[in-house]
Amino acid sequence: MDASPFHDGELEAQALAGESSRGTGIRDFMPDQHRDFFALLPYLFAAGRDAQGKPIATILTGPEGFVTSPTPNELAIAALPASGDPADAALSVGASVGLLGLDLRTRRRNRANGVISGRDGHGLTIAVDQSFGNCAKYIQLRQHEPASASAPAVEELGGLDPAASALMTEADTLFIASGSESGLDMSHRGGRPGFVRIAGNRLSMPDFAGNSYFNTFGNLLREPATSLLFIDFAKGDLLQLQGVAEVVWTGPELAGIDGAKRLLKVEVTRAWRRKATLPLRWSEPEPAPTTLTTGSWRQDRAA
């Protein structure tokens, strides 16, 4: 019998949620359709670990084709973190990395996790040891076009200021990095604008029905440290956060949002803002059908 592709934390999270999965789509190599898919992307989401071992989330960009797959266990990324990216040092040779390829034009996404086997002045080489696809739930369609990027001084925030809070409370999309002894994961979360609630430096967001893998929550049960990435799709701004996560599995708080199965809370400990750093801008979103079945904290307050 094949060993489970899930580590103990993921299995525990599945049990707490009352769900299970055989994980038949999780492979130790990339099938050809995944290898071809990565080559279509002008951006790639990545998770590394900082000097303290905490996850840090970022995005790499380049022209379509900047990511290639020479073999089923290798990705070549012809890009490096932008100037001032707090995740730069985390993407070093020998470091674990979690990658998320997400095409907002089609709602298609694939994950690839592994180790950075090479880095030079042109980019990164990844030795992939885990690959799997994710469903299109809660991904809002967006079209992109090239734009001028700037390299402003990175602004490390002492707390969540009004501009950061406004970006998050208007967001319909975020990205989350998490880790365990098994490695790193980079994942996506989506919902209606207002699905992220802020109280001081604490964020709360619902978790909706997914693929029953529980990669992120399984990691957080073992290592509560996490990182969130928010994008201002109209301006090209990035907001990168680190914090400590707590998962609420049951209780009256879940009644606050239609469709919420669980609640993720993150106490933010560090935050960085980089304005107009992305060389892309995106159109107004077309919500996923699954997103339209969910609620938000904003709706709850209005009710």
Please name which of 204, 206, 56 lies closest in space to residue 137, comparing C-alpha atoms.
206
- Amino acid type, 147: A
For residue range 8-47, what is the model confidence (pLDDT) as tens digits? Answer: 999 999 999 999 999 989 999 999 999 999 999 999 999 9
Band (pLDDT 50/70/90 cuts) for residue 2 is low
With tokens 């303290």, the residue in question is 52
Spatial separation of the C-alpha atoms in residues 216 and 9, rounded to whole Å = 9
Alpha helix positions (H), the chain:
8-17, 32-38, 162-170, 215-222, 297-302
Average pLDDT over every residue of 249-272: 95
pLDDT band at 1 (very low <50, low <70, confident <90, very high): very low
Q: Which of 69, 63, 81 is nearest to 32 (CA)?
A: 69
Instruction: Convert the pLDDT of each residue in 225-253 to its tens digit.
Output: 999 999 999 999 999 999 999 999 999 99
Cβ-based neighbour number of residue 29 at 10 Å: 15
CA-nearest of 161, 256, 163 to 207 is 256
| Cβ contact 283:38 at 8 Å | no
For residue 83, the model assigns a pLDDT of: 87
Q: pLDDT digit string (tens) for 48-94?
A: 999 999 999 999 999 999 999 999 999 999 999 998 999 999 999 99
Region 195-215: mean pLDDT is 96
Distance between CA atoms of residues 50 and 270, nearest Å:
12
